[in-house]
Structure 1
């Protein structure tokens, strides 16, 4: 056991290493377009639009990558797909291929400062010591325990540190919320923390609902604090709601300024002018003034609250939180937080409850440094020794301060059968209620009466590629199969649907496709696309897990086979209530992955239980063609021929290396209108093809793009490698997907 001062020094060194890495390299890059210089007063102020919505806090330090230039700056405004930023140097006026790099290293810097303050407080150091070296003796009375909630209440009353192991669906939100309500009823002050806004929202809502039900709720006693929260309640729980009720003039003034800013950004996006630019900057100045007044009202609200919910990052950056003393601190999703964050949280309260699942995703860090590996990539359950205790005891007995919630109530047993056995070593079981609770979801199509499905994409082509700027993998064939599953699920009555994938590029592609061609349906349903990391803490009736990896990749990525792959796949599966659809290339996985790896075990498990749908069954489960995503037999080329003959501007054909365009396709292309240009994309020559442009690129799969709007995959089928019958093609009407394919493969 190290001394607390040694721990703090090690944590600060790890944080500094991570901060330096993020400052130098960054890790999140956003493409910007339509840049306009707004002002040269106090730096160079620019307006940009982004391809995806940005959620970067105002005042954040960013870096702009422009050709060979790297310019520092900060965010003045970030809203939707537009951003205003001020830079140290000018970018000039010809703005193309501009990228914004942002990582919240300032938050780590603030945590570093809190650790400095911890050194000066004996009380805080004592709390950290108890966290890192929990006593082997628990002091709560065991004989009096009546229920899991009662046990947690007793543990947190008699012991300074309580670890709660909450596997998915075992009722951790239920248990934590009732323990928090118990403390509230006794007059204790409670700080509720988590790494994510979503987890804080869920827990605060459940606490509020329970206290309301008991008739004990008093407005202002419970406050959800944080500008990133999207929570809306009838209980005036958030600071925004309370200010709207108590200070409507201020709140309305801010709302009006937000609307003025939104409209002015639309005007700027349509046609830039210096006058409009200056007006937008004036609106920003007024917003700053109003926001400061609202900030003072927030401080008053937090001072009087008994239960405050916010994120770990917000707690470390806002003196209204970190200068306050709490009777008890509760941390949810603790396995995703850095150990120094947990230590900081422990210093704020007399007692602490740490809830999470060390079988789910660990913290994420970027720097390659041994101290970062030790303290920022491992969770508090491991570093405090509670996991080591479990692993060393052959009878799987728990650490004295580790409390396991052991009955899962979320997943259908056909889904949990894998995670219960392979991930939780049979320590977790199914509650009686879940065995009959999911029938309505399971009975729906696609794959009616099946809860766990392996949708096999073997021998459908070489579609797994890496995105240019981020190297994140994507798979357009998998994307469209997954979209079809979403569509079939929606038509069959499912309204709670999740698409989850290890890779950010694939998640963004699906989000883009859904917003472009499924917007009307999205208004009626809760359909979300996200990476596994962003999905932790969520759940859906139907989950599609797209592993993406396939040929021409040489092996699955480290996200699927690395040391944390068990945790990632566990999260992907356990978000599901009733129907888990696993889209994977079975042949690729079984050929490239050892039997001991969790992704291989999952594929083998589903195959052994006859839960797989093979590629030749595609005609049996696709029942509802979306108007803009059409599946056809690849030998039936009438629709593709019609598209080519009706083309107005351009035809682009991708031909893989070593292949030639078949004669019948050459004839069809030759019959195009004289005003239509034809481009061939290939790494070879294109003998016998009458084309206007030859683009030298390596193409892994054949495709046809018409008028930069229509994308055909799977045609001509004769050009495809790793493809077996039935030969399937798909036509997509999506300008944004076409733009992506052109950018990644053609340009």
Structure 2
């Protein structure tokens, strides 16, 4: 497959990306000292043992990418934090410590070059061989190699089960996504891209496929997950911990709480602990039964032994009586013989 003007191999692609990242980092670092932004009246959105997410309302959207590390200052205290998401109404910030239900004021400072620097470092590790990647798939992603059809058990789609029926173009995109190695779905806002992706996700999961859903924003991930979970006929797959939301959700939703890795681990641990307690209870019951059985056997043996002793004693008594009777009979016999002898002499 010939692509004029395109890089010819994987290394050329990474070189282009690295050069672009270096230029971006250079421009971003001109913002010496980082950006200092103030936000007010942040409400605790949700929390876990390791992160506490606060939402601050704001009139403008800060140009800070999701997952950007930040330094936060609250009442002259410094805390490490992270940008979870930004939208037209405000910003969600994750902190490493619980600062109560409301934070009256917070100042954040961030180096906007941090994420590009991390990405550049990743490219360096890929080129050095420290990090392994599927180069063939990468080349297909950039259309430098032909994307083939894949052997897939999904030969036909049952789209009638979904609440909102995909139109013909959406159905075509869904089918192609499930039968080709690489598929791009493009469309302006409101054309059903998120819903189509949730259907693709559902089809793959129902076919026992492992799926990695990723995006450059946390909000996009949560929108797709929300639509997907809404389409489920039951929550069994969620309750079983088969969907893991890695990172920090942007929304407070009971279903999202069940998808967070930390909560899944905690739930599994509680279930295992209950099983362990039941097993320990069963073991204790069996040990009690065993002891009781052993003790009962000892008692039975002792009773049997006592019976044998009594029988022996009774037999010995009877033998003694017989011996006395024999002795008496012998004495009587001797007396009779003496009497007979005396009479014979007369």
Larger relative contact order (Cα-Cα within 8 Å, sequence gap ≥ 6)? 2
Larger strand proportion, structure 1 or 2?
A: 1
* TM-score bracket relative to the smaller structure: 0.3 to 0.5
Q: Which has the higher helix share?
A: 2
Q: TM-score normalized by structure 1? A: 0.24
Larger Rg over CA atoms:
2
